[in-house]
C-alpha cells in the first residue's frame, strides 16, 4: 500500500511530503492488525467494485497496486474468475498476509472446494511498477496513491503497464481527509502531523496529462466516529496510517501538547462522538491507442474497408 520512489530526493521535498521508509515500516508493522481495523478501506473497496458493474471489461490480467492484506482479492476473483491476478505492495508483511499463512494442505483443500487461488505476489513500488509495458488489462488501486510523492509519475506508470483498451480504477483521499485531526494539531508545534492530499479536479487533470482517455471522477465524504481522540489514533495506527510526513516530529510528543491536542478533538464532539472525515476520491480512466510517436509525430492508421460491387443489369 505504499510507494518508495519519488521524482525528487527527500531533501528537495517539502515537510508535507511522505517519508517512504516510514510508510513502509508503518504498514509492515500494521500487517497483523490491518484486516480487522481497515473498515473504511473495505467499504470503499466494495463501492469501487460496484462501479465496475457499469464497465464492460473482461481482463486477462489484473494488477492490485497497493494490495494491503489482499482485501480486494476475493471480489476480483469472483468478478473475473479467468483473470490472472497480481498483488503488489511495498510492505513485505502485507504481501505475506495476502498470500495466506495457512499450510500447504489447507491451501490444497481450499482449491478442491473451488476457492480462488491466491494471487501472484510482488514486493514493489507503486511509484515505479516493475512490470513490462502492456502487462495488464485492469489496474486496481484502493486508497494507496495518497502515499506517493510523485503522483504524475505513478499515474504514468499505471498507464504504461496497461494494454491499449485497459482500465485504471482507483481511489485516493482528498484535501478534507482528517481535517479534524489537522485542526487539532494546528498551532501545537511547527511540525507536520497530517499528510496533504490532492484535490479531485487536479487528479483528473493529471490523468489527462498522463495520457489517459475519458477520465471519470467522483467524490464523497465518509465520516467515522470515535469515543475519544486516543481511539482515533489507535485505529489509524492499526492500519498503518501514522504520521509519515518528512516534517513529522522525530521525538515523542510532549505531554502538554498531547493533552492540548486531545482537548481540541474533544471539543469537536457531536452526539457524544468525535468525527474523523475522509474525503474519498473515485476515478477511472482508459488507455487509448497512442496518437503520436515518442518523437511527437502523428500516427495515422489505415483500416481496410469492405468493398461492394453492383452487378450490371442484363
Residue 116 pLDDT class (50, 70, 90 cuts): confident
The residue with cell 481522540 is 229
User: Which residues make Cβ contacts (< 8 Å) with residue 142, sequence separation at least 6?
Assistant: 41, 44, 45, 48, 66, 68, 71, 72, 170, 171
Q: Give the whole-angstrom CA distance, residue 208 versus residue 255.
A: 47
Cell of residue 185, nine digits:
494539531
Alpha carbon distances (Å) from 79 to 43, 97, 99, 120, 142: 17, 22, 19, 17, 16
**Beta-sheet pairing, 120-123 with 136-142:** unpaired
pLDDT, residue 115, reads 67
**Mean pLDDT across the stretch 16-36?**
91
pLDDT for residue 260 is more than 50: yes
Helix crossing, 200-209 with 151-161: angle to 10°? 50
pLDDT for residue 305 is more than 90: no
Helix crossing, 229-238 with 255-266: angle to 10°? 100
User: What structural domains and CATH numbers belong to the chain?
Assistant: 10-174+195-221+278-286 (3.40.50.150)
pLDDT for residue 221 is more than 90: yes
Average of per-residue pLDDT values in the chain: 86
**Mean pLDDT across the stretch 153-177?**
97
Consecutive H or E run containing 276: strand 274-286
| Between 266 and 253, residue with greater pLDDT | 266
pLDDT in tens, 51-97: 999 899 999 999 999 999 999 999 999 999 999 999 999 999 999 99
Q: Give the whole-angstrom CA distance, residue 314 versus residue 303.
A: 34
pLDDT for residue 279 is more than 50: yes
pLDDT, residue 257, reads 85
pLDDT, residue 266, reads 95
**Beta-sheet pairing, 61-65 with 84-89:** parallel
User: Which residues make Cβ contacts (< 8 Å) with residue 272, sequence separation at least 6?
Assistant: none
**Mean pLDDT across the stretch 101-123?**
66
pLDDT for residue 276 is more than 60: yes
Contact of 157 with 5, CB cutoff 8 Å: no
pTM for the predicted model, two decimal places:
0.84
Give the three-state DSSP class for 288.
coil
Residue 185 pLDDT class (50, 70, 90 cuts): confident
Q: Give the whole-angstrom CA distance, residue 42 versus residue 30.
A: 16
Contact of 139 with 167, CB cutoff 8 Å: yes
**Mean pLDDT across the stretch 220-226?**
97
> End-to-end distance of the chain based on CA atoms, in angstroms?
74
Q: Which runs of E-coded beta strand occur in 81-212? A: 84-89, 120-123, 136-142, 162-173
Consecutive H or E run containing 182: helix 179-185
Amino acid at each position: 500500500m505504499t510507494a518508495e520512489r519519488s521524482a525528487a530526493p527527500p531533501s528537495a521535498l517539502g515537510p508535507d511530503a511522505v517519508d517512504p521508509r516510514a510508510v513502509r515500516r508503518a504498514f509492515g508493522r500494521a500487517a497483523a492488525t490491518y484486516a480487522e481495523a481497515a473498515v473504511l478501506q473495505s467499504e470503499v473497496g466494495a463501492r469501487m467494485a460496484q462501479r465496475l458493474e457499469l464497465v464492460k471489461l473482461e481482463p486477462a490480467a489484473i494488477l492490485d497496486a497497493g494490495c494491503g492484506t489482499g482485501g480486494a482479492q476475493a471480489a476480483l476473483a469472483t468478478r473475473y474468475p479467468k483473470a490472472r491476478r497480481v498483488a503488489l505492495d511495498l510492505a513485505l508483511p502485507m504481501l505475506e498476509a495476502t498470500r495466506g499463512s495457512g499450510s500447504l494442505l489447507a491451501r490444497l483443500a481450499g482449491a478442491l472446494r473451488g476457492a480462488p487461488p491466491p494471487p501472484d505476489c510482488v514486493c514493489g513500488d507503486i511509484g515505479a511498477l516493475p512490470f513490462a509495458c502492456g502487462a495488464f488489462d485492469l489496474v486496481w488501486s484502493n486508497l494507496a496513491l495518497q502515499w506517493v510523492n510523485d503522483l504524475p509519475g505513478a499515474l504514468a506508470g499505471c498507464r504504461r503497464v496497461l494494454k491499449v483498451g485497459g482500465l485504471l480504477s482507483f481511489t485516493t483521499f482528498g484535501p478534507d481527509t482528517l481535517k479534524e485531526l489537522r485542526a487539532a494539531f494546528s498551532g501545537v508545534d511547527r511540525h507536520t502531523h497530517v499528510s496533504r492530499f490532492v484535490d479531485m479536479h487536479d487528479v483528473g487533470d493529471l490523468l489527462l496529462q498522463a495520457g489517459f482517455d475519458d477520465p471519470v471522477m467522483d467524490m464523497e465524504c465518509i465520516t467515522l466516529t470515535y469515543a475519544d481522540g486516543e481511539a482515533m489514533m489507535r485505529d489509524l495506527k492499526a492500519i498503518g496510517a501514522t504520521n509519515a510526513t518528512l516534517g513529522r516530529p522525530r521525538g515523542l510528543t510532549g505531554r502538554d501538547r498531547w493533552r492540548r491536542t486531545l482537548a481540541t478533538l474533544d471539543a469537536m464532539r457531536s452526539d457524544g462522538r468525535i468525527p474523523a472525515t475522509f474525503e474519498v476520491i473515485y476515478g477511472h480512466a482508459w488507455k487509448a491507442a497512442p496518437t503520436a510517436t515518442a518523437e511527437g509525430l502523428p500516427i495515422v492508421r489505415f483500416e481496410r474497408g469492405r468493398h461492394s460491387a453492383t452487378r450490371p443489369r442484363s
